[in-house]
């Protein structure tokens, strides 16, 4: 039921939780136990992507500038298709290296809708890059704002004019994060905490409160290595481990094959949650498109037909005659 809790914890007001419970009594049978335990709901989203290896800016700010040239990535994720109010996420990120590639800067935007809740976040990233003997060590920070809304007017109730569902509560809160990232041509590893602040909402006043509570920090450890099989095929195993105090450790384990520097085919397994199939095509030296499908293995399997994710990436090279080396992550 771990994923069900992730879906519900985005609702930032205890009052809103009670309202939704009142209206969705039948629809929320699957989540009843989780509602009881969620006495203090926090405006804290943790990004979940299947194609995280192509979208690492949202997990680790130290990734900024790691491609040595300007790079843009857009993503659309439709999770648990068939369940009303299931998460839908759109992201956009861009980053580049500056000043002889010693610094990296980036911008990331995320829009996420879960039920009647709507989160829109803007984060700026900065990374300091240190050349090492066989690779580059990067240390990064990010800071930004999260705008949270509860579109209660979108809820259709049996009782017309129910005051419990009037208005559109809004709240804008700051947050920040940091990370480290080391990479070479064929290897990478990173450790990050994307959100350092705990954004809480007072159930009575509706005002936000920002605190630093280490027990709520989400730690991300990720890595991967590219093995050449022959001149035409390369193999890339990847992993991402997520940990937070009081919850089981969650791991994404994947293996992907690259054919002729053009087509990625692979699969991954998210412990206790789902398995995924991934395909990515390098259409030319600059443009890449990817698709993944997640098949749920939890109790929600009987209520949804899976999750879909699409990515689109574009790499710029403004310096003529500069050789852009292939990047595998």
> Which DSSP string corresponds to 254-278?
EEEEEETTTEEEEEEEETTTEEEEE
- Asked whether 69 and 318 are in contact (CB, 8 A), the reply is yes
Averaged pLDDT for residues 34-51: 52
- Among the residue ranges 129-133, 166-170, 193-197, 306-310, the one predicted with the least confidence is 166-170
Other C-beta atoms closer than 10 Å to the C-beta of 159 total: 10
State mean pLDDT over 285-312. 94
The answer to whether residue 325 sits within a structural domain is: no
Q: Are 254 and 270 in contact (CB under 8 A)?
A: no
What's the rounded mean pLDDT across residues 28-53?
A: 52
Q: Which domain holds residue 256?
A: 2-315
| Residue-averaged pLDDT of the chain | 82
Looking at the 3D structure of the chain, how many domains does it have? 1
Q: How many CB atoms lie within 10 A of CB 224?
A: 21
pLDDT for residue 115: 84
Q: Is residue 328 part of a domain?
A: no
Is 169 part of any domain?
yes
To the nearest 10°, report the CA torsion of 207, 212, 213, 216. 80
Residue 15: its pLDDT value, please?
Answer: 46
pLDDT tens digits for 262-298? 999 999 999 999 999 999 999 998 999 999 999 999 9
Structure confidence at residue 318 (pLDDT): 57
The model carries a pTM of 0.82
CATH number at residue 256: 2.40.160.40
pLDDT in tens, 127-146: 999 999 999 999 999 999 99
Give the distance, in angstroms, between the CA of residue 224 and the centroid of all CA atoms in the same chain: 18
What would the DSSP string read from start to end of 173-225?
EEEEEEEEEEE-SSEEEEEEES--SEEEE-TTT--EEEE--GGGPPEEEEEEE
The answer to whether residue 321 sits within a structural domain is no
């Amino acid at each position: 039921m771990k994923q069900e809790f992730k879906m519900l914890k985005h609702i930032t007001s205890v009052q809103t939780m009670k309202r939704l419970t009142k209206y969705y009594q039948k629809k929320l049978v699957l989540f009843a136990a989780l509602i009881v335990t969620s006495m203090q709901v926090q405006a804290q989203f943790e990004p979940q992507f299947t194609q995280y290896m192509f979208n690492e800016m949202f997990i680790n700010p130290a990734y900024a500038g790691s491609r040595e040239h300007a790079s843009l990535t857009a993503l659309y994720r439709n999770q648990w298709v068939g369940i009303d109010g299931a998460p839908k996420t759109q992201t956009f990120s861009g980053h580049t290296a500056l000043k002889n590639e010693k610094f990296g800067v980036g911008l990331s935007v995320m829009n996420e809708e879960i039920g009647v809740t709507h989160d829109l976040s803007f984060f700026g990233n900065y990374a300091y890059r240190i050349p090492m003997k066989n690779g580059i060590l990067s240390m990064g920070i990010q800071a930004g704002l999260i705008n949270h809304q509860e579109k209660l007017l979108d809820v259709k109730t049996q009782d017309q004019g129910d005051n419990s569902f009037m208005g559109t509560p809004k709240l804008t809160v700051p947050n920040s994060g940091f990370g480290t990232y080391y990479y070479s041509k064929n290897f990478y590893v990173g450790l990050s905490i994307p959100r350092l602040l705990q954004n809480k909402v007072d159930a009575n006043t509706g005002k936000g409160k920002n605190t630093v509570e280490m027990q709520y920090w989400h730690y991300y450890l990720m890595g991967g290595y590219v093995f050449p099989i022959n001149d035409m095929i390369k193999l890339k195993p990847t992993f991402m481990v997520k940990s937070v105090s009081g919850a089981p450790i969650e791991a994404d384990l994947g293996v992907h094959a690259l054919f002729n520097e053009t087509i990625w085919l692979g699969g991954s397994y998210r412990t206790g949650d789902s398995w995924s199939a991934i395909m990515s095509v390098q259409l030319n030296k600059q443009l890449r498109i990817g698709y993944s499908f997640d098949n749920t293995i939890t109790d929600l399997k009987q209520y949804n037909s899976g999750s879909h994710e699409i990515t689109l990436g574009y790499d710029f090279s403004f310096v003529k005659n500069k050789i852009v080396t292939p990047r595998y992550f």
